C-alpha cells in the first residue's frame, strides 16, 4: 500500500525534474509506476509528459509505465506534449523540446510506434475531433492537435506535424486559424510574430481563395456566431488586463481581438478573401480606448491623476471625472492608486468599459482592413480601378495590403490570365493614386509622401527602391513621380542638412554659432584623426536611418586646426566649445541621441525652457520702455527664426532620419515663441500709437502759438 505522502513525493519529483530521487523512490515502491494522483488521476508518466521531463519519460517507460493511460479528461499522456504546464521555458526552448519528444514518441518511424502506434493511427485516420478541447457546436472549430501546437507558437513542431501526418490542406488551414486566434501575442517578440506570419502565409497560400474553406477561415477569424451565442447566455467575462497583453480570452479562447488577429486578417486579404461583410459586426463590438487599460489595472497613482487626465483625448476625457472623490484627497489617504469605478462619470459607462472585448486601436486596424478588402474585391472581380476614396489615415495599411496582394499574385504557380489582369488593375490603381497626388493640392502630395515612406521602409536603399517600383509594375509616370519626390534630396544635401540642423540646435542651446557644414572644416589626415563611432551609436544610427548610409567613423581635428578655425571665424568661443563637445563633429549621432536618449532629451528641454523663461522675463521687465523692448524683440525674432529654420530642416530630414521627439520639442517652442512675439509686438504697437498721439498734440499746440 502506497501512502499519500509517498505518492505526493513521487509526483513532486516528476514536476521538479528530479530523476535520481524518483528512481530511488520507485525502487523502494515499484507500484508507484502505475499509481494515480488523487487530485487529477494523472499517472507519473502523464505528469512527466505534462512537464516535458524527457529523461523521466524514458526512465518510466523502461519501468513499463503504461503509455496508453489517459487522464480524467480522457487525454492520453503523449498529447500533453503540446499543452505543457511548465512555465520556465521560452517559446524557442519549448518548441525544441516538444519537437524532440514528438519525434521520439509520436511519429511514423518504427521506434516511435513501439510507444505510440495507437495514437499515430488515431491521428492518421481521424479527419475531425482528433483532440477536442472546449468543444462547441461549430463543426469546423474542434480544436485539433495542430491547433494546440500553433496556439503555443511552436512553429517547428507544427511544420514537423504537418509533414509527418500529411494532413488535408483545408484541415491544416482551419487548424492554423483556430490556433492563431487563441494565441497570446502579449509575450511574443517581433521575431516570433514574424515566424508565425511566414508559417501562416506558407500554408494558407495553398488554399483556393474561392473555396468554402476560404470562407470558413474568415468566419473563424471574425467568430460572429460565437459572439452572439455566448452573448445570449451572458458568458462573456472580459478581462481588460488580457486585452492589454494581447491575450485571447473566453472559454474557448475567442472574442478578444489583438495584433495577431490583425495579422491574420492581412494574410486573408492578401489571398483575396473578402472581409467587407464583417465590417458592421466589428463596428458593433464594444471597445475600450487603449489609455483606459492602465487606469483599469489600478496603475495610476493618486498624485498622477491630473497629468494622466490632461493627456487623454477629449472623447476619453469626457468619460472621467475631472476631480478625484474626497477619499483620495484626504490627508493620510489609504488610496495610493486610482480605482476606475471611482472616476468614471456613470456606472453605465463603467459597465461598458468592463464589458469591452476589443481595444479601440485594434478595432480601428481591423476596420481599415475590411475597407481595403472591399477595394481589392472590387478590383479582383471587375478589374476596375476607379478612384476609391482612401483617407490619409488609412493609406499606409492600404498600400501594405495592396502591394502584398500584387506580390502574392506574381509568385503564384500556374498564374491564370485573370491573375495577370488583376495585377495590372491593382498596379494601375496605385499609379492612379500617385499621379493624382502629385498633380493636385498640397494635402494630396502627402499621399505620395506616404507611398515613398512605405517603399523606403521596405527597401532601405535607393537601388532596392527602384527595383521595388519596377517589380510592382507601376506606370512609368507614377514611377517618375515617386522618384522625383524622393530624389529632391541628394546624399550630399542630406548630410549638409544634418550638419546645419546640429549647428542650429547648438546655437539655440549654447548661443555659439558654428560653421553650418562639418565638411567645410576641410579636415584631412594632416589636421585630424579618424575615430570610430561607438557601437551603441552605430546601432542607433542604423535603426533610425533610411535610404542613405553613414560611415562608422568620423574625423576629430587637432588643436592647431581648432585654433585656426577660431581665428578664421573670429570666434574664440568656437575652439573652446569644440574641445568640450566632441560630439559636434559627429552631428547625426548627436541629433539621434538628443531625440532618443531620455536624459539628453530632458537636458535639451530644460535648456529650451530656461532660455524661454529668460527672454520672457526680460520682455516683461522692459515692457514699459519701447527702446529696450525693441532690443529684446530683436533677439526674440532671431531665436524664432532659428527655431523655424530648425523645424524646416527636421521636415526635410524626417523621411530619412527618425528624430521625431526633437521635432516635437522644436514645434512646442515654436508655438510658445510665436505667442510671446505676438504678445509683445502688440505692446510695442501700443507704445507707437501713444507716441503718435503725443506728436499730433505737440504739432497742434505749436500751430496755435504761432
Closest Cα partner for 295 from 305, 285, 287?
A: 305
How confident is the model over 307-322, as a mean pLDDT? 90
CB 331 within 8 A of CB 345: no
In terms of residues, how long is the chain?
706
C-alpha to C-alpha distance for 413 and 589, rounded to whole angstroms:
47
Reported as type and span, the H/E element at residue 559 is helix 559-568
Q: State which of 181-185, 629-633, 642-646 shows the largest mean pLDDT.
A: 642-646
The burial class, CB within 10 Å (0-12 / 13-18 / 19+), for 343 is buried
Q: What pLDDT sits at residue 501?
A: 92
Q: What is the pLDDT of residues 192-232, one digit of tens each?
A: 888 888 998 888 888 888 788 888 888 888 876 555 554 54
Contacts of 336 (CB under 8 A, 6+ apart): 301, 302
* Alpha-carbon gap, residue 350 to 370, rounded angstroms: 29
Per-residue pLDDT tens digits for 159-174: 998 888 777 788 788 8
Of the given ranges (300-314, 329-343, 484-498), which has the lowest mean pLDDT? 484-498
Q: Backbone dihedral region of 345: left (phi > 0), alpha (psi from -120 to 50 degrees) or beta? A: alpha
Indicate the pLDDT class of residue 129, thresholds 50, 70 and 90: very low
The pLDDT of 433-439, averaged and rounded, is 65
Best CA proximity match to 493, nearest among 642, 648, 647, 653: 653
3-state DSSP assignment of residue 128: coil
> How far separated are the first and last CA of the chain, in Å rounded?
135
439 pLDDT more than 60: no
Return the pLDDT at 319.
92
Query: For residues 436 and 477, what is the distance between their CA atoms, to the nearest angstrom?
Result: 11
Q: d(Cα 409, Cα 420) in Å, to the nearest integer?
A: 8
Interhelix angle for 476-486 vs 442-459, to 10°?
Answer: 90
Distance, in Å, from the CA atom of 250 to the CA atom of 227, rounded to the nearest integer, reads 10
- Measured CA to CA, the distance from residue 574 to residue 567 in angstroms comes to 9
Query: Which pLDDT score is estimated for 83?
Result: 84
Residue 233 confidence (pLDDT):
43
* CB neighbours of residue 166 within 10 Å: 9
Place of cell 529668460: 614
Return the beta strands (E) in 223-346 as ranges. 287-288
Ramachandran class of 447: left when φ > 0, alpha when ψ lies in -120 to 50, beta otherwise: alpha
Find the mean pLDDT for residues 551-577.
79
Kindly report, residue by residue over 521-538, the tens digit of the pLDDT. Answer: 677 888 888 888 888 888
With H, G, I as helix, E, B as strand and everything else as coil, classify residue 88: coil
| Prediction pTM value | 0.65
Per the structure block, which three cell numbers stand in for 18?
A: 528530479
Local structure of 284: helix, strand or coil = helix
Binning pLDDT at 50, 70 and 90, where does residue 130 land? very low
Task: Give the integer Cα–Cα distance in Å for 153 and 193.
Answer: 9
Instruction: Give the span between the Cα atoms of 559 and 575, in whole angstroms.
Output: 8
The pLDDT assigned to 244 comes to 72
623 phi, psi to nearest 5 deg? -65, -20
Backbone angles phi and psi of 389, in degrees to 5: -80, 125
Nearest of 17, 14, 8, 9 to residue 39 by alpha carbon: 8
Q: If pLDDT is split at 50, 70 and 90, which confidence band does 139 have?
A: very low
**Lowest mean pLDDT, pick from 9-13, 246-250, 593-597, 624-628:** 246-250
Query: Which residue, 99, 172, 182, 177, is CA-closest to 134?
Result: 182
| Inter-residue long-range contacts of 499-505, CB under 8 Å, 24+ positions, other chains counted | 499/587, 500/649, 501/587, 501/591, 501/646, 501/649, 501/650, 501/653, 502/584, 502/587, 502/588, 502/590, 502/591, 503/587, 504/642, 504/645, 504/646, 504/649, 505/590, 505/591, 505/594, 505/604, 505/646, 505/662
DSSP code of 533?
Answer: P
Amino acid at each position: 500500500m502506497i501512502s499519500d505522502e509517498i505518492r505526493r513525493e513521487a509526483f513532486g519529483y516528476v514536476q521538479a525534474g528530479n530523476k535520481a530521487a524518483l528512481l530511488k523512490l520507485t525502487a523502494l515502491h515499484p507500484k508507484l509506476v502505475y499509481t494515480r494522483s488523487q487530485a487529477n488521476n494523472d499517472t507519473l508518466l502523464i505528469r512527466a509528459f505534462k512537464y516535458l521531463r524527457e529523461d523521466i519519460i524514458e526512465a518510466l517507460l523502461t519501468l513499463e509505465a503504461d503509455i496508453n493511460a489517459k487522464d480524467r479528461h480522457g487525454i492520453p499522456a503523449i498529447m500533453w506534449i503540446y499543452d505543457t504546464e511548465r512555465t520556465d521555458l521560452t517559446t524557442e526552448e519549448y518548441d525544441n523540446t516538444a519537437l524532440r519528444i514528438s519525434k521520439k514518441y509520436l511519429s511514423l518511424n518504427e521506434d516511435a510506434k513501439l510507444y505510440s502506434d495507437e495514437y499515430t493511427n488515431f491521428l492518421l485516420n481521424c479527419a475531425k475531433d482528433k483532440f477536442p478541447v472546449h468543444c462547441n457546436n461549430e463543426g469546423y472549430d474542434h480544436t485539433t492537435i495542430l491547433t494546440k501546437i500553433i496556439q503555443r507558437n511552436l512553429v517547428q513542431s507544427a511544420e514537423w506535424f504537418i509533414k509527418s501526418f500529411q494532413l488535408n490542406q483545408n484541415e491544416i488551414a482551419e487548424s492554423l486559424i483556430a490556433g492563431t486566434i487563441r494565441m497570446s501575442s502579449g509575450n511574443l517578440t517581433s521575431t516570433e510574430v514574424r515566424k508565425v506570419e511566414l508559417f501562416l502565409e506558407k500554408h494558407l497560400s495553398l488554399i483556393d481563395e474561392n473555396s468554402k474553406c476560404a470562407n470558413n477561415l474568415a468566419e473563424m477569424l471574425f467568430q460572429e456566431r460565437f459572439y452572439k451565442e455566448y452573448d445570449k447566455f451572458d458568458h462573456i467575462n472580459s478581462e481588460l488586463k488580457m486585452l492589454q497583453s494581447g491575450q485571447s480570452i473566453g472559454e474557448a479562447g475567442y472574442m478578444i481581438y489583438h495584433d495577431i488577429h490583425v495579422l491574420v486578417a492581412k494574410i486573408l486579404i492578401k489571398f483575396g478573401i473578402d472581409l467587407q461583410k464583417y465590417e458592421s459586426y466589428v463596428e458593433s463590438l464594444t471597445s475600450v480606448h487603449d489609455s483606459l487599460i492602465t487606469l483599469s489595472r489600478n496603475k495610476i497613482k493618486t498624485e498622477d491623476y491630473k497629468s494622466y487626465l490632461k493627456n487623454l483625448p477629449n472623447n476619453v476625457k469626457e468619460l472621467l471625472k475631472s476631480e478625484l472623490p474626497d477619499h483620495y484627497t484626504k490627508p493620510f489617504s489609504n488610496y495610493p492608486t486610482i480605482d476606475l469605478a471611482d472616476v468614471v462619470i456613470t456606472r453605465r459607462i463603467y459597465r461598458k468599459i468592463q464589458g469591452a472585448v476589443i481595444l479601440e486601436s485594434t478595432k480601428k486596424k481591423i476596420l481599415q482592413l475590411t475597407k481595403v478588402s472591399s477595394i481589392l474585391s472590387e478590383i479582383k472581380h471587375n478589374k476596375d480601378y476607379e478612384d476609391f476614396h482612401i483617407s490619409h489615415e488609412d493609406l499606409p495599411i492600404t498600400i501594405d495590403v495592396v502591394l502584398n496582394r500584387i506580390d502574392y499574385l506574381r509568385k503564384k504557380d500556374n498564374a491564370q490570365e485573370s491573375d495577370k489582369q488583376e495585377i495590372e488593375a491593382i498596379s494601375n490603381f496605385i499609379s492612379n493614386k500617385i499621379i493624382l497626388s502629385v498633380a493636385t493640392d498640397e494635402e494630396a502630395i502627402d499621399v505620395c509622401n506616404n507611398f515613398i515612406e512605405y517603399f523606403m521602409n521596405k527597401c532601405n536603399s535607393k537601388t532596392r527602391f527602384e527595383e521595388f517600383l519596377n517589380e510592382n509594375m507601376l506606370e512609368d509616370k507614377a514611377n517618375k513621380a515617386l522618384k522625383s519626390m524622393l530624389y529632391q534630396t541628394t546624399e550630399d544635401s542630406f548630410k549638409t542638412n544634418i550638419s546645419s540642423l546640429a549647428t542650429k540646435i547648438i546655437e539655440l542651446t549654447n548661443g555659439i554659432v558654428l560653421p553650418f557644414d562639418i565638411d567645410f572644416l576641410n579636415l584631412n589626415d594632416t589636421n585630424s584623426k579618424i575615430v570610430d563611432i561607438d557601437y551603441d551609436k552605430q546601432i542607433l544610427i542604423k535603426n533610425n536611418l533610411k535610404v542613405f548610409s553613414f560611415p562608422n567613423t568620423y574625423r576629430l581635428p587637432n588643436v592647431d586646426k581648432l585654433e585656426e578655425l577660431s581665428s578664421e571665424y573670429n570666434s574664440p568661443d568656437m575652439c573652446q566649445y569644440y574641445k568640450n563637445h566632441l560630439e559636434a563633429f559627429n552631428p547625426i549621432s548627436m541629433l539621434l541621441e538628443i531625440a532618443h536618449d531620455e536624459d539628453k532629451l530632458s537636458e535639451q528641454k530644460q535648456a529650451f525652457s530656461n532660455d524661454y523663461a529668460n527672454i520672457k522675463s526680460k520682455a516683461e521687465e522692459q515692457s514699459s520702455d519701447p527702446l529696450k523692448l525693441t532690443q529684446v524683440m530683436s533677439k526674440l525674432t532671431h531665436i524664432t527664426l532659428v527655431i523655424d529654420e530648425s523645424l524646416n530642416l527636421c521636415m526635410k530630414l524626417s523621411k530619412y532620419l527618425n528624430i521625431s521627439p526633437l521635432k516635437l520639442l522644436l514645434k512646442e517652442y515654436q508655438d510658445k515663441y510665436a505667442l510671446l512675439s505676438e504678445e509683445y509686438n502688440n505692446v510695442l504697437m501700443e507704445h507707437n500709437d501713444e507716441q503718435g498721439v503725443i506728436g499730433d498734440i505737440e504739432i497742434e499746440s505749436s500751430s496755435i502759438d504761432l
